A and B are shown apart, each in its own frame.
Chain A
């Protein structure tokens, strides 16, 4: 555009320059021509020359008259002679001379004329009047010169004509040139006019476009939903659109000319605004201008502040900088945002309350369930009639279903609140599925269904994962299959593909049931969906089980998919990706095979009377020695004075809860500092697991606790307690044996054992009761030997004894005797074992 304009301008200017040049050239030329034309000297010259002939003829006549008239007037003749002479001078000077100089003949013709003139002058200038003889002589002279004069005149005419012709020709040429130039000029002017026309058209078009765009802009500004305010660099408002009137409450007419500071910028922000604008104008570095949307506060005419979203741009022109602000009233939006936040918070609170409620309900239901199920278990240990036994079984099964529901509700809550925790561990897959099948076999048998297990070869190995959750899912899937199949087989088929790091496992549970229509395939996984089916008695999806299973499966990184057709049975497949594990210890089998536990000293800490009594009865029934406490504080009292093998500690109790009691027990030096503590809770096991473990609990069990589980725990604990002592050879002993030789070691061990025996006997007999220092010394001595022999438990116990003896000067003998005796026994067994092998 700009380059085009410059081209045009150059063309126009060049054209104008050329025209000026041509014009000046033409004008000078024409002026010269005009002068030449107007000073038409030649014609007059010709005439002057011809006059010579005329005057000579006149003179001739006058002379003839004079000669014929005896009384002639000499003066008249003199005048004629003078006139004739004057004409002769004409052809010798001025333009006539110039004309004649062009022709060589002229000089020859004029010379006799001049001679004649000279003769005539000498004759007429003689003193006295002219005589007849003078006249005669003059007549002869005139006659002689006449042909010359005539020829001269004719030559003059011819030369003049030729000159005139040449001049005319030159003039014609000049005219032609002028005409050509004129045509050129006209063409050029035409071209310029065309150019001008084009430029004019363009200008008109551009003007129209500009007008259109400015109209468009004006209407855009006017119709804009955002307030648009334009201000100059002093902050004075220049423009204020309709939306701005609505937003700020100012009329355009009253605000234009005022500054933004005076009007809609809140007072507290005026300084900042002022400085910001000054800084921008000085440094050209914007903080708000051109930085996109900014949220600020503005002031309405009525004086209230409101939030705005602001976008400022600036333009610079000849008149300085102008700021254009696009302002949106976002008070509505802010209010809505607040409402949304409130609504969300409310919803979250409600949701939390719901989860809380479910958790509490689960807890509240679990506590009485613990009582019911415990009592039922106890009832079944008594002698019952077949009918009673049947009833008990029904009650037991029902309470188990109820427990399942409670657990499911809790699982759903955990999944929804994201608190479902996974506890991965090494496990043997085959053992796991076999135990699941074992559990469900009776259920299948009851319905005369066969339960088949189909294992691929590759699955017989250890894996790393949350085995209890996998077990939960498998039980749910197989349980459902059994529930909804009337006849035929339920098969669990496990296949596996081993990847480089992980293995992809498929647990397919196939039944020969009625099948599920395709449109319900997804619905069975929804919460609380039970599908009406056929006779209406059985329905699939039964509450929460499948929904929970799928959610857990997904949390484990897998999924459950369904393939089913009406009449062709269903296959639910659990797909899981698990890490392989090298560990495959035989512990579970060993645990199962454990012999009935030896009688133990057990402390039950539980605030609920029923539950406490049930647990007490169960343990007593299993042959254990049981004491009880109703809260943590009471339990600490009992634990301070007597050693127990196992403590069952409820987590939630009044006065002092189980967590705190455990923490206290583990902190204090006491006979039960290392006693195995089993935490019991009516909450889900996730809720307190971490806290309980940190406090020092050894294991954790969710209520209700059943006789089987109780047996398992106790045998576990007693085995574990003895295993380190009896099972494994002591590494320190081995080293000692290597260093000292078996004989020497045996001597040391025997000496140590006898010393220990003496200490135990002294303590029991009370011979040292009055002498704590001696006791402390003895304990100290034995402690050093125990440490040397790697008997850390004994070392600990002796260390306690020593400290107590020194600090308090009084010894709770009972607390130590058993421990020392026991340690001594196991140490002896260990020594025997170790030395036997050496």
Chain B
């Protein structure tokens, strides 16, 4: 548990409180829950506002699940972990339906994958793979079009857990 992590948690709690009081939009979007493997560590929730406040990455690509070019925007997972200042070997990602996939932190790149908050400029509902979707810029490099990366492209994501 680092002092920086605590600061983030406090900041997160503050942001949550802020969102609950000031943003009507924020109430529609399920917040992202982040936890660590430490037993005494609190689970922090990151709201869409918080995620929007971080550096945004936007790209267009086709996916095997959608038709035509789709524009995604959101936060780089690597940048997100850096922002949260958490250490760990791997990142466990869990969807609303409890689908889970684990990815080594080392595999995270600066720009891929991203935690997409918007598809074609719109936030995503649960009916449409929301609230969050981990996507790669599949068309930019064939290396992203792998079985593993497809498996890691988890949608309806609402929980992240950094484990040692």
A and B co-occur in one complex: yes
Binding site for B on A (CB under 8 A): 34-35, 38-41, 43-45, 48, 55, 58, 79, 82-83, 85-86, 89-90, 93-97, 121
Are B147 and A35 within 8 A (Cβ)? no
A632 to B150: give the CA distance in the assembly, Å.
156
Is B28 positioned at the interface, with any CB of A under 8 Å from its CB?
no
**Nearest chain A residue, comparing its CB with the CB of B63:** A94
Neighbouring A residues of B66 by C-beta, 8 Å: 93-94
Query: Which of B67, B126, B142, B143 has the largest number of chain A CB atoms within 10 A?
Result: B126
Q: What would be 29 A-B contacts, judged by CB atoms less than 8 Å apart? A: A34-B142, A35-B142, A35-B145, A38-B142, A38-B143, A39-B142, A39-B145, A39-B146, A40-B150, A41-B64, A41-B150, A44-B147, A44-B150, A44-B151, A79-B96, A79-B126, A82-B125, A83-B96, A83-B156, A85-B127, A86-B128, A86-B155, A93-B65, A93-B67, A94-B66, A94-B67, A95-B65, A96-B65, A97-B67
17 extra A-B contacts, CB within 8 A, seeds A82-B126, A86-B156, A94-B63:
A35-B142, A39-B142, A39-B145, A40-B147, A41-B64, A41-B145, A45-B64, A55-B97, A79-B96, A86-B126, A86-B128, A89-B127, A90-B65, A93-B65, A95-B64, A96-B65, A121-B127
Cα separation A85 to B126 with both chains bound (whole Å):
9
| Minimum Cβ distance to chain A for residue B81 (Å) | 25
Does residue B129 face the partner (Cβ distance < 8 Å to A)? yes
Measured between C-beta atoms, what is the minimum distance from B132 to chain A in Å?
A: 13
Q: Which of B64, B125, B143, B156 lies in contact with A44, CB distance below 8 A?
A: B64
Residues of A within 8 A of B155 (CB): 86
Query: How far apart sit A144 and B102, CA to CA, in the bound complex (Å)?
Result: 36
Contact partners of B125 in chain A: CB under 8 A? 82
Per-position contact with A for B102-133: 1 when CB-CB < 8 Å, else 0? Answer: 00000000000000000000000111110000
When the two chains form their complex, are residues B97 and A89 in contact, meaning their CB atoms are under 8 A apart?
Answer: no
Q: Are B129 and A86 in contact (CB under 8 A)?
A: yes
Q: Known interface pairs A39-B142, A79-B96. Does A48 touch B126 (Cβ–Cβ under 8 Å)?
A: no
Give the residues in chain B near A90, CB-CB below 8 Å.
65
Report which of B63, B127, B138 forms a contact with A82, defined as CB distance below 8 A. B127
Interface magnitude class on chain B: 20 to 34
A116 CA to B75 CA in the complex, in Å?
A: 35
* A93→B70 CA distance, assembly (Å): 13
Once bound together, how far apart are the Cα atoms of A55 and B127, in whole Å? 12
CB neighbours (8 Å) of A89 from chain B are 127-128
6 tightest A-B CB contacts, nearest first: A39-B145, A82-B126, A44-B150, A94-B65, A41-B64, A95-B64
Residues from 146 to 162 in B contacting A, C-beta threshold 8 Å: 146-147, 150-151, 155-156
Query: How long is the Cα–Cα vector from A1 to B136 in the complex, in angstroms?
Result: 64
C-alpha spacing A90/B127, complex, angstroms: 10
* Residue pair A48, B65 in contact (C-beta under 8 Å): yes
Look across to chain B and name the residue whose beta carbon is closest to the beta carbon of A85.
B127
Contacts of B128 in A (CB 8 A): 86, 89
Q: Which residues of B contact A44 (CB under 8 A)?
A: 64, 147, 150-151
- Measured between beta carbons, the chain B residues less than 8 angstroms from A43 are 147
Q: Chain B's nearest CB lies how many Å from the CB of A80?
A: 8
CB neighbours of A79 from chain B (8 A): 96, 126
The smallest C-beta distance from A44 to any residue of chain B, in angstroms, reads: 4
Whole-angstrom distance between the alpha carbons of A179 and B138 in the complex? 30
On chain B, the residues within 8 Å of A41 by CB distance are 64, 145, 150
Say yes or no: B65 contacts A40, CB within 8 Å: no
Chain A residues with Cβ under 8 A from B138's Cβ? 39
Query: B residues within 8 A CB of A38?
Result: 142-143, 145-146
Alpha-carbon distance between A121 and B150 when the two chains are bound, in angstroms: 28
Give every chain A residue within 8 A of B146 (Cβ-Cβ).
38-40
User: What residues of chain A lie closer than 8 Å to B97, measured between beta carbons?
Assistant: 55, 58, 83
Collect the chain A residues with CB atoms within 8 Å of residue B147's CB.
Answer: 40, 43-44
In the bound complex, CA of A376 to CA of B41 (Å) = 183
Bound-complex Cα distance A545 to B146 (A): 135
**Nearest chain B CB to A43 CB, angstrom units:** 6
Question: In the complex, which residues of chain B have a beta carbon less than 8 angstroms from the beta carbon of A82?
Answer: 125-127
The distance in angstroms between the C-alpha atoms of A43 and B147, with both chains bound, is 8
* A40 CB to nearest B CB, Å: 5
Q: What 0/1 pattern do residues 68 to 104 of B give for CB contact below 8 A with A?
A: 0000000000000000000000000000110000000
In the bound complex, what is the Cα–Cα distance between A86 and B128 (angstroms)? 5
Q: Which residues on the B side are within 8 Å of A96 (C-beta)?
A: 65
Using Cβ atoms and an 8 Å threshold, which residues of chain B touch A55? 97
Known: A39-B146, A83-B96. A94 touches B127 (CB 8 A): no
A40 proximity list for chain B (CB < 8 A): 146-147, 150
| Cβ–Cβ < 8 Å partners of A85 in chain B | 127
Instruction: Using CB atoms, name the residue of chain A closest to B143.
Output: A38
A96 to B147, CA, bound (A): 16
CB neighbours of B96 from chain A (8 A):
79, 83
Closest to A55 in B: B97
Which residues of A sit under 8 angstroms from B65, Cβ to Cβ? 48, 90, 93-96
CB-nearest residue of chain B to A35? B142
CA distance A121 to B97 in the complex (A): 19
User: How far is it, in angstroms, between the C-alpha of A94 and the C-alpha of B67 when the chains are bound?
Assistant: 5
Residues of B within 8 Å of A58, CB to CB, are 97
> For B129, what are the chain A residues with a Cβ–Cβ distance below 8 Å?
86
Least distance between A621 CB and chain B CB atoms (Å): 158
- Closest CB in chain A relative to B126 CB, distance in Å: 4
Q: Which residues of A have CB within 8 Å of B64?
A: 41, 44-45, 94-95
A92: nearest residue on chain B (CB-CB)? Answer: B67
> Which residue of chain B has the shortest Cβ distance to A117 in the bound complex?
B127
What string of 1s and 0s marks CB contacts (under 8 Å) between B30-68 and chain A? 000000000000000000000000000000000111110
A95 to B67: give the CA distance in the assembly, Å. 8
In angstroms, Cα B128 to Cα A556, docked, is: 147
Q: How far is the CA of A670 from the CA of B125 in the complex (A)?
A: 176
CA distance A91 to B145 in the complex (A): 20
Specify which chain B residues have a CB less than 8 angstroms from the CB of A93 in the assembled complex: 65-67
Residues of A with C-beta under 8 A to B145: 35, 38-39, 41
Compute how far the CA of A95 lies from the CA of B146 in the bound complex, rounded to whole angstroms.
Answer: 15
- Closest chain A residue, CB of each to CB of B129: A86
CA distance A94 to B65 in the complex (A): 4
- Distance between A47 CB and nearest chain B CB, rounded to angstroms: 8
Min CB distance A52 to B, Å, is 12
- B137 CB, nearest partner CB in chain A, Å: 13
Find the B residue at minimum CB distance from A96. Answer: B65
Smallest CB-CB separation from B144: which chain A residue? Answer: A39
Which of A45, A48, A83 has most chain B Cβ within 10 Å? A83
Residues of chain A lying within 8 A (CB to CB) of residue B126: 79, 82-83, 86
Q: Which residues of B contact A83 (CB under 8 A)?
A: 96-97, 126, 156
A314 to B135, CA, bound (A): 82
Q: Which of B127, B143, B155 has most A Cβ within 10 Å?
A: B127
Query: Nearest chain B CB to A114's CB is how many angstroms away?
Result: 14
Closest residue of chain B to A88, judged by CB?
Answer: B127
Q: How far is the CA of A384 from the CA of B143 in the complex (A)?
A: 164
The CA of A89 and the CA of B127, in the complex, are separated in Å by 8
In the complex, what distance in Å separates the CA atom of A89 from the CA atom of B155?
Answer: 13
Q: Output the residue of B64, B128, B155, B156 with the most chain A CB within 10 A.
A: B64
Closest Cβ of chain A: how far from B129's Cβ, in Å? 6
- In the complex, which residue of chain A has the Cβ closest to the Cβ of B145? A39
**Chain A hits for B151, CB < 8 A:** 44
Tell me the complex Cα distance, A55–B128, Å: 14
Q: How far, in whole Å, are A97 and B67 apart by their CA atoms in the complex?
A: 9
Which chain B residue has the least Cβ–Cβ distance from A81?
Answer: B127
CA distance A121 to B145 in the complex (A): 33
A79 to B128, alpha carbons, bound, how many Å?
12
Q: Max chain B CB contacts within 10 Å: which of A34, A41, A79, A89?
A: A41
Please give me the residue from chain A that is nearest to B146 by CB atom: A38
Please name the residue on chain B nearest to A45 by beta carbon. B64
Q: In the complex, what's the smallest C-beta–C-beta distance from B84 to chain A, in angstroms? A: 26
Bound form: Cα–Cα A44–B99 in Å? 14
A97 to B65 CA separation, bound complex (whole angstroms) = 9
A466 to B142, CA, bound (A): 129
Chain A residue nearest to B124 (CB atoms) is A86
Interfacial residues of chain B within 1-50, with CB under 8 A of chain A in the complex: none
